[in-house]
Amino acid sequence: MSPHHVVISGIGLVSSLGEGPDAHWRKLAQPGLEPVLEAARFSPYTVHPLPEIDWNLQIAKRGDQRQMETWQRLGTYAAGMALDDAGIKGNDELCTTMDMVVAAGGGERDEAVDADILAASESRNDRDVLLNEKLTTELRPTLFLAQLSNLLAGNISIVHKVTGSSRTFMGEEGAGVAAVETAAARIRSGQSTHILVGGAFQTEHSDMLLGYELAGYLHRGPWKPVWQRQGAEGGGVVTGSGGAFLVLEQREHAISRGRKIYAELGPVVSGRAKRRQGELDAEIAALLRQAALPNGELLTISGASGAHAATAAEKSVFGANPAIAARGFSTLTGHMKEAQFPFAVALAALAVERKAAYPAFDAATEKPFNGVPRTVLATAIGYHQFEGLALVNAAD
């Protein structure tokens, strides 16, 4: 059985730069683009905040919007954009047969309730009883559903009627890598014809920062581009709110619908380096070999987080491969955790489709790329664990 080819036929993107593939292309194609930063709200941490979003555009019912917190709304919104872009939204037959793999973390806790409990804990020794007392009376019952990891997918089913199947992968950047890898494998093997895959991350919530900072991963002090944070105060990661969804489709299926194809998704490879044993550089190099890079200059959309060790490893492997012209998009969007890899693949597909490279996002570090990119590499090396990359090829 000859494997089916996988193409990208829809893209939905949201970041501090705006929303939609066109808006992202327009912004990112400008040399010297300044990032959108919010340095005060979570000081000493800087974040890339969400842009103004009219949720009604993708989530028609106010009742649905109310059932979600921002993370789920953001993902549902980006998923709707991808479905629209692929001409699938509102098409019952395509939606009910569409598979879905979502990369998700958890949703937002109620910060006020938590702060109240913590404050009370200073003067109480029976903290477990305190917890019962407060949580039973102060928690909003439906908030639980807004926090559950698989309820982003659940909301996409409810709002956009995608119901072929629904799976949620967890595990930071690795979840995004595995989601794309599994979705592609399902299409190649004929198990699926069209899949919605992606994720979202809403960083403007203290718990989402805490998830990094318990290991000291966040960059502090003045903002710097992603490749230039070694030695600066903090751990190097600047986060951003955003989301990225892709419609992956069997090539024949997309062609038979007469759809625009952004790009073909080539090999997707993933790994789990034993980082404490210093294996990360070797693992990234091995993944590059496994992906079988083409000859010549290679535009590379890097999901580097800025985390000191992981980003240094990626930079060093790229440095040893002079063909690679990296673009670390976290400089402009911040790190979007589970959405990081789908976002990288989306930007790679855009460059292939527009037949043009992005200018350097950090002119001091990134080298120019002068040709027409027919193959683009997308990477996500986890800030703490797991790594993956993919090649995105011109569709013709």
Partner 1 sequence: MANLNDHMGRPIVAVTGIGVVTSLGVGKADNWAALTAGKSGIHPITRFPVDHLNTRISGMVDFLPSSSKGASLLTYELAETAAQEAVAEAGLNSGDFGGPLFLASPPVELDWSERFSLYNSDKHDIGAERLLRVARGLKELDVFETTQFGSIADRLADRFGTRGLPITLSTACASGATSIQLGVEAIRRGECDRALSIGADGSATAEALIRFSLLSALSTHNDIPEKASKPFSKDRDGFVLAEGSGALVLESLEAALARGATILGILRGCGEKADDFHRTRSKPDGSPAIAAVRAALADAGLSEDEIDYVNAHGTSTPENDKMEHLSLSTVFGERIGSMPISSNKSMIGHTLSAAGAVEAAFSLMTMRESVIPPTINYDNPDPAIVLDVVPNKKRNAEVGTVLSNSFGFGGQNTCLVMAREPV
Within 96-135, which residues bind partner 1 (CB under 8 A)? 100, 104-106, 109, 111, 114-115, 118-119, 121-122, 126-129, 131-133, 135
What b/e sequence results for 307-327 when a residue is b if at least 16 CB atoms lie within 10 Å of its CB, and e otherwise?
bbbbbbbbbebbeeeeebbbb
Q: Is 154 in the site for partner 1 (CB under 8 A)?
A: yes
CA distance 307 to 304: 8
Q: Which amino acid is at 124?
A: R
**93: number of Cβ within 10 Å:** 8
Site for partner 1 (CB under 8 A): how many residues?
82
Nearer to partner 1, 151 or 299 (CB): 151
Q: Is 161 in the site for partner 1 (CB under 8 A)?
A: yes
CB of 350 to partner 1, least distance (A): 26
Nearer to partner 1, 23 or 131 (CB): 131
Sign, CA torsion 267/380/333/144: positive
CB of 167 to partner 1, least distance (A): 6
Name residues contacting partner 1, limited to 186-245 (CB under 8 A).
186, 189, 191, 206-207, 209-211, 213-216, 218, 234
Using CB under 8 A, pick the residue from 178, 197, 336, 352 that binds partner 1. Answer: 178
Site string for partner 1, 304-333 (x = CB under 8 A): ------------------------------
Query: Which run of H or E residues covers position 367?
Result: none
Nearer to partner 1, 243 or 382 (CB): 382
CB of 68 to partner 1, least distance (A): 9
Q: Please give the distance of CA 109 from its chain centroid, rounded to a whole number.
A: 21
Q: How far apart are the first and last CA of the chain?
A: 23
Name residues contacting partner 1, limited to 54-83 (CB under 8 A).
67
CB of 373 to partner 1, least distance (A): 27
In 3D space, the residue among 189, 188, 167 whose CA is nearest the CA of residue 178 turns out to be: 167
CB-based contact 384:176 (threshold 8 Å): no
Q: Near partner 1 by CB under 8 A, which window of 175-183, 193-201, 240-248, 342-350?
A: 175-183
Using CB under 8 A, pick the residue from 31, 41, 60, 144 that binds partner 1. Answer: 144
Name residues contacting partner 1, limited to 31-50 (CB under 8 A).
45
CA distance 94 to 162: 8
Pull the structure tokens for residue 240.
């951003």
Name residues contacting partner 1, limited to 363-382 (CB under 8 A).
382
Q: Is 274 in the site for partner 1 (CB under 8 A)?
A: yes
Using CB under 8 A, pick the residue from 91, 163, 228, 365 that binds partner 1. Answer: 163
Cβ neighbourhood burial of 109 (10 Å; 0-12, 13-18, 19+): middle
The angle that helices 340-354 and 172-188 make with each other, rounded to 10 degrees, is 50
